[in-house]
Amino acid sequence: PIPGWPDETLLEYKTELELLTEPYNRFTSTTYSGGGFVIDVPQLTTESEYQAMFAHLRENGWTSKATRVIFYDLCMYNPTLRFYVSVRLAFEFTPFGSVLVSK
């Protein structure tokens, strides 16, 4: 199970208006709408909780042959430099089963 989620539930689709996002087309082969299925990992999640979360999603068919892209967004802070960095990794699935990773 995923902390903070009711048992027996998976993610619900949210529109770009609900998520306050925009379409994305950088470093991908097509433009993706700003909507989708989103999981927000709490800041103090331990490694074992993180692994359990993704094992739960995998076991319950979070992705399928219809999945085209998974975005992994993260924000990190370096207190020594007082510097924030925001990163988006894109894992794009081709119709042939291979994965294209953003660079």
Whether the per-residue pLDDT at 1 is higher than 60: the answer is: no
> What would the DSSP string read from start to end of 3-16?
TTS-TT----EE-H
Under a CB-based contact definition with an 8 Å cutoff, are residues 35 and 16 in contact? Answer: yes
For 80-99, write each residue's pLDDT tens digit.
999 999 988 888 888 887 88
Under a CB-based contact definition with an 8 Å cutoff, are residues 59 and 68 in contact? Answer: no
Query: What is the pLDDT, as a whole number, of residue 66?
Result: 83
d(CA 51, CA 53): 5
For 16-45, write each residue's pLDDT tens digit.
999 888 888 887 778 888 888 888 777 788
Q: Give all strands (DSSP E) within 1-103, no chain letters.
A: 13-14, 36-37, 69-78, 83-93, 99-101
Query: What is the pLDDT, as a whole number, of residue 8?
Result: 61
Tokens describing residue 44: 């103090």
